[in-house]
Each structure stands twice: as structure tokens, then as C-alpha cells.
């Protein structure tokens, strides 16, 4: 049975939702699922924009069969060929052998590399600025390299103002019937998962997102719909989400507040983290989030790190080093290019307290444009009353730094 939605006149969502996949890219948990979006334009020619993950292929085929109603599929535009979107290309070619494929040179190269048998079909290679007409609708192809693979492009339909934005403006969470961002409470229910998607999947490529946003900025008044490959379609309040993307890709915090991430073996470092959180709230700083690094998937920590302006790292010393999961979190920050944050450090060690210096060295030497506050809380096994002054000084320093940020 088909399951489609109308985007706008003659344009349909023909994708599918996935609640079975536990780990996106086999690494990021997706407890609320994900959608694989594909779109069908029925003009003088019929055009399928992208395909879906192999697990969703059957739904895509049923949707196409219903809407095409016995007519052929004329074109397949591939904006992004990564297998979560491209894995069904070959099945489309088998079902619609006369379909002509439109994509970039690099995408065709990668399709062959992945073993998608596109040769034998008409492959139309396009580049930045090329246009194509399907009847009433004319589209322009725009390069979007590294958003999120090097072959990616986006396609802008100049007739109806639809931007097929590939991975850009995507989000985790299955659509479950709701297609448009204005059909959900996005700011309440979706923004955290949208942030987690962007920062973990494309976070490293902020400058490339900025390039794409620059191109989109030139035609902003013409964009009426943004149709990404995951998550809802945007037709209202586009500026809200564009602004989020702009902040995330410039590594600018959304919130002046404090993220506290602790690594604790027996609860003593956690107790210090909790005491600091309470001190901050006592001082009126209530935008405080606190996580145990050992039982929080690092993708959530990365998303929160992109959100908050100040990050407190509280870690025990382990084998004379940083606690392994805390080290892994720091490595992810580096890999995903996080910048422009203010850090504070709580360290703990029962006989050789090393974690503070090591975390500071990592921040100074491996990360970009970071500040570490001079005030540091050093613990020998547990937080005792004699450390009250140090704890207060750390809280005061964070408040002062936040206030400086708020004034700037």
C-alpha cells in the first residue's frame, strides 16, 4: 500500500520512515527513528529526486507505482548518493530501465565505486549552475560539496521555489505522517534531534555549510519550500531553521549557559559536579545541563556542546590519564571541529591527580579558539568542606565569564 504526501502542486513526498534501525551510520542511536525522504515531481516528465535506504525500498516502489499509475519514470535526480539515500538506485533502474539519471561527476564515480550499475543507462552529468527543464518546471543544480559528502549537490526548482537540500536542513526522528515542520512543535520536540543530526553528521564541515548558506542567501526570497532528505519539509518560518544552521556551522553557541559533563567512578566526582550545578543555580544561572559521560552516548554530548557557551569537564584520573570515555568525548569534539567555547575543569585523583592538566593540554593543543578558566577545582578522592572556597571561586568565575559573554 502506498503512503505519500503532497508537498505542493504536482510534487509528492514518496519516502519512508524507519523505526527499526537502532544506530544511524551504525554509530548514532536514533530512538525516535528517522525518515528517508524522496520526492516525485509529475510534470510533462516525471522526476524522482533521490531514493531511499535499501530497508525502505519497497515503500518507495509502492509509492512510485501508485503515483506514476502505469506511466514511465523519466528522470532520477541524485543529489546525494550515500547509501542511506542511494541504495535503491539500482532497483529503480531495474524497474524503470529508460530512466535518465542526473547527478554530479563525483556522484557517478561513487555510484560505480559502490557497485551501483548505472552504466547502460543515460547518465547526465551536471555541474554548478546548470539548468534543466522537465516541462513547466525548470531546475538549477548547485554544488554542495562536503554537505555531507564531496559529491553532494542541491537542486532548486525555480518554478515553484522548492529547494531539494540533500542532507542540509535534515533531522533525526521519523515523520510518522507529519510532513511539514509546521505540523509539529519543532522547537519543543524536534530541535534537539535536529541539532544532534547536524552536529554529529556534518558538524566537521561548518565552512562548507556556510558556503551553501551563502549561495542560498542569494535566492532566499525565492525559496518557498526546503525539502531535505531526512526530517520535515519547511514551508513556514524558514528563517528559524536557517538561523540555527548558521549558528551551528559557525560554531557559535545557541545558549549562554553551562554544560557540565562528569566522569565519575564511585560518585565523588559526580558529587562535585552536582555541587557546582547547585552553586550556579544559587547565583541565578539556571541554564545548566549535567551529564554522566559514562552513560550518555557521545552524540548527545556533542549536540549539547554545540548548544552551550560554557563547558565544565569533571574527570577522575584513570591509569594516570583522562578517564577513557571523557577522552573519547574530547576526541569527538576535535573531530567535529567544535570551537569558540569557554571551559572549566574539575579534576580528581586519589594518589596522582593528572586529569586536569591533561584535559587542559588537550583543549589548548588540539581544539581551536577555546578558553580555559584559570579557576580549577582539584579533588583528592572526594569533595570535602575544605574545598568550599575553591568551588565558590569556580562558580563565581563561570558566572563572571557568562556575564561578560552576555554583555558582548
- Does 208 help bind ligand FEO (rule: CB under 6 A)? no
Interaction mask 155-184, ligand FEO, x per CB under 6 A: ------------x-----------------
Contacts by 6-9 with C-beta closer than 8 Å and gap 24+? 7/39, 7/162, 7/179, 7/225, 7/227, 7/233, 8/160, 8/162, 8/224, 8/225, 8/235, 9/160
Q: Which of 18, 50, 84, 157 binds ligand FEO (CB under 6 A)?
A: 84
Binding range to ligand FEO, per CB under 6 A, among 82-90, 121-129, 284-292, 333-341? 82-90
The least distance separating ligand FEO from the CB of residue 325, rounded to whole angstroms, comes to 26
Q: Please give the grid coordinates belonging to residue 301.
A: 554530548
43 versus 84: smaller Cβ distance to ligand FEO: 84
50 versus 332: smaller Cβ distance to ligand FEO: 50
- Does 229 help bind ligand FEO (rule: CB under 6 A)? yes
Q: How far apart are CA 107 and CA 51, in angstroms?
A: 14
Q: How far apart are CA 272 and CA 62, in angstroms?
A: 56
- Does 28 help bind ligand FEO (rule: CB under 6 A)? no
Q: Which of 28, 39, 43, 85 binds ligand FEO (CB under 6 A)?
A: 85
37 versus 317: smaller Cβ distance to ligand FEO: 37
Q: Which of 88, 90, 141, 148 binds ligand FEO (CB under 6 A)?
A: 148
The least distance separating ligand FEO from the CB of residue 327, rounded to whole angstroms, comes to 27
Q: Which of 230, 235, 327, 341 binds ligand FEO (CB under 6 A)?
A: 230
Cα three-residue angle 194-197-198, rounded to 5 degrees: 85
Task: Name the CA dihedral angle for 69, 72, 75, 78, rounded to a multiple of 10 degrees.
Answer: 60
The footprint of ligand FEO on this chain (CB under 6 A) covers a number of residues equal to 9
Binding range to ligand FEO, per CB under 6 A, among 12-20, 79-87, 184-192, 354-362? 79-87
Dihedral sign, Cα of residue 291, residue 296, residue 298, residue 302: negative
- Does 80 help bind ligand FEO (rule: CB under 6 A)? yes
209 φ/ψ sector (left φ>0, alpha ψ -120 to 50, else beta): alpha
Distance of CA 261 to the CA centre of its chain: 21
Closest alpha carbon to 163 in 354, 292, 362, 11: 11
- For ligand FEO, which residue has the nearest CB? 82
Footprint on this chain of ligand FEO (rule: CB under 6 A): 80, 82, 84-85, 148-149, 167, 229-230
Amino acid at each position: 500500500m502506498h503512503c505519500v504526501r503532497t508537498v505542493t502542486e504536482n510534487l509528492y513526498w514518496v519516502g519512508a520512515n524507519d523505526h527499526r534501525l537502532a544506530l544511524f551510520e551504525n554509530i548514532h542511536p536514533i530512538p525516535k527513528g528517522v525518515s528517508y525522504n524522496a520526492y516525485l515531481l509529475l510534470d510533462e516528465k516525471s522526476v524522482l529526486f533521490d531514493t531511499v535506504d535499501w530497508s525502505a525500498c519497497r515503500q518507495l516502489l509502492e509509492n512510485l507505482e501508485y503515483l506514476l499509475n502505469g506511466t514511465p519514470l523519466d528522470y532520477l535526480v541524485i543529489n546525494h548518493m550515500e547509501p542511506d539515500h542511494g541504495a535503491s538506485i539500482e532497483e529503480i533502474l531495474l524497474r524503470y530501465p529508460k530512466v535518465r539519471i542526473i547527478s554530479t561527476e563525483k556522484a557517478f564515480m561513487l555510484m560505480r565505486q559502490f557497485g551501483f550499475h548505472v552504466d547502460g543507462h543515460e547518465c547526465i552529468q551536471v555541474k554548478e549552475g546548470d539548468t534543466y527543464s522537465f516541462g513547466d518546471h525548470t531546475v538549477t543544480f548547485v554544488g554542495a560539496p562536503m554537505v555531507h559528502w564531496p559529491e553532494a549537490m542541491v537542486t532548486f526548482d525555480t518554478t515553484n521555489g522548492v529547494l531539494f537540500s540533500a542532507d542540509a536542513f535534515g533531522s533525526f526522528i521519523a515523520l510518522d505522517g507529519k510532513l511539514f515542520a509546521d505540523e509539529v512543535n519543532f522547537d519543543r520536540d524536534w530541535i534537539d534531534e535536529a541539532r544532534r543530526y547536524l552536529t554529529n553528521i556534518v558538524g566537521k564541515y561548518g565552512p562548507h555549510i556556510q558556503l551553501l548558506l551563502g549561495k542560498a542567501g542569494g535566492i532566499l526570497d525565492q525559496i518557498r519550500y526546503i525539502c531535505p532528505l531526512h526530517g520535515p519539509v519547511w514551508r513556514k518560518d524558514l528563517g528559524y531553521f536557517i538561523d540555527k544552521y548558521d549558528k551551528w556551522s559557525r560554531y557559535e553557541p545557541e545558549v549562554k549557559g553551562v554544560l557540565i559533563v562528569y566522569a565519575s567512578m564511585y560518585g565523588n566526582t559526580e558529587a562535585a559536579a552536582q555541587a557546582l550545578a547547585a552553586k550556579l543555580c544559587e547565583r541565578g544561572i539556571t541554564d545548566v545541563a549535567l551529564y554522566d559521560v559514562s552513560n550518555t552516548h557521545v552524540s548527545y554530548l556533542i549536540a549539547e556542546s554545540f548548544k552551550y557557551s560554557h563547558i565544565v569537564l569533571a574527570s577522575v584520573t584513570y591509569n594516570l590519564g583522562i578517564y577513557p570515555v571523557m577522552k573519547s568525548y574530547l576526541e569527538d569534539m576535535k573531530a567535529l571541529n567544535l570551537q569558540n567555547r569557554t571551559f572549566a575543569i574539575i579534576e580528581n585523583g586519589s594518589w596522582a591527580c593528572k586529569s586536569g592538566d591533561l584535559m587542559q593540554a588537550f583543549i589548548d593543543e588540539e581544539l581551536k579558539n577555546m578558553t580555559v578558566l584559570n579557576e580549577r577545582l582539584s579533588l583528592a578522592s572526594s569533595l570535602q568542606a575544605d574545598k568550599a572556597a575553591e568551588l565558590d571561586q569556580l562558580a563565581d568565575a563561570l558566572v563572571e565569564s557568562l556575564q561578560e559573554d552576555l554583555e558582548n
